[in-house]
Amino acid sequence: MLFQVGGQGTRPTFFEMAAAQQLPASLRAAITYSLGVMALRRPILHKVLDYEDEFFALLMLVLEAHSMRTTDASFSESLYGLRRRAVKTRLKKDALHGNTTDGIQHSGLEKHQKVLSVVFLVVLPYFKSKLHSIYTREREAALQARLWGSGDERFDDADVVDIAGSLVDQTRSSDAELYSRVRILIQIKKAIGACYPWIHAGHEGLAFAYQLLYLLDATGFYSLGLHILGIHVCRATGQELMDASSRISRMRSRERERLRGPPWLKKLQGALLTCMYAVLDYAQTGLIASVFIFKVKTQIPISCTQMTSPRAAFQS
């Protein structure tokens, strides 16, 4: 399943890069909405929503690691037919005054570049989300303190005290150690609440600067993370897509040859590998299609009630 936005050559257009970057956030919003609606009938899903950041980070970790391992691209980039390539610059005097693509060679990604790409795609956004939630709670607590006054215990400090109480039961620490831990946690949260706006503003400013430079064709790096890793995102050709399919087949055949044990154990392991490959191969299309179908099903009853309610009112 590939989406083509347009453009010529190997360099993706700005709209392709923007669509690939915004897809994970849109997918998360759709999955959260779907789980929230299903949780109305199955309360057990509220436990998943309580750990929304961890659940989505684990899901994207599996998808991004598999996509980076098989296609040299992120989950969303492979959906748009894009590939990541390592940048190797050749020092030439005429390259400084000629075309911007002169003196630049692309090669396949190395192992550390794939690992760091997953870190930039999954781990850093997860920590940013946790920092944002801490900042939101601190802001709500500060607003509550301004409206109602600072009581003996702040709104967000109650959670810290509950956590500290569980730590007492587990570690049987003294009251002095407990008090110091609580104060340290509170100070850390206050520091995060004070520093996060500056961190967020700096991150958004750098992201805007890189996107503007990429739009003006002044740089080949769409983001700061790609610049740090020395990676260009290129449009994959038809031959590269065919080579990727054959490479995946060879990789999976080698994994099957490495199976050890009795014949029944090899068959069981082979069946598990087949199921895992099927889930990973169709996760990209399945996630988007299932969320789309679910939202259509939830919108149909709403539209039906809106159409029938005026008729019922007229008959009454």
Q: Which amino acid is at 135?
A: Y
Short-list 129, 134, 142, 193, CA closest to 160: 134
Tell me the pLDDT band of 208, cut-offs 50, 70 and 90: very high
pLDDT digits (tens, 9 = 90+) for 43-73: 888 888 888 889 999 989 988 988 888 888 8
Report pLDDT for 307.
Answer: 46
**Does the structure show a pLDDT above 80 at 136?**
yes
Tell me the pLDDT band of 293, cut-offs 50, 70 and 90: low
Report the 10 Å Cβ neighbour count for 3: 13
Choice between 259 and 226, residue whose per-residue pLDDT is larger: 226
- pTM equals 0.71
Tell me the pLDDT band of 104, cut-offs 50, 70 and 90: low
**Does the structure show a pLDDT above 90 at 206?**
yes
140-176 exposure pattern, b = at least 16 Cβ within 10 A, e = fewer? ebbeeeeeeeeeeebbbbeebeeebeeeeeeeeeeee
**Does the structure show a pLDDT above 90 at 118?**
yes
Contact 17, 73 (CB under 8 A): no
Distance CA 285, CA 279 (A): 10
Distance CA 177, CA 164 (A): 10
The residues with which 82 forms a beta bridge, in sequence order, are 235
Contact 234, 87 (CB under 8 A): no
Short-list 66, 68, 71, 96, CA closest to 81: 71
Short-list 277, 235, 232, CA closest to 256: 277
**Does the structure show a pLDDT above 60 at 89?**
no
Report pLDDT for 305.
Answer: 46
Taking each helix axis as running N to C, give the angle between helix 52-71 and helix 263-315, from 0 to 180 degrees, rounded to the nearest 10.
130
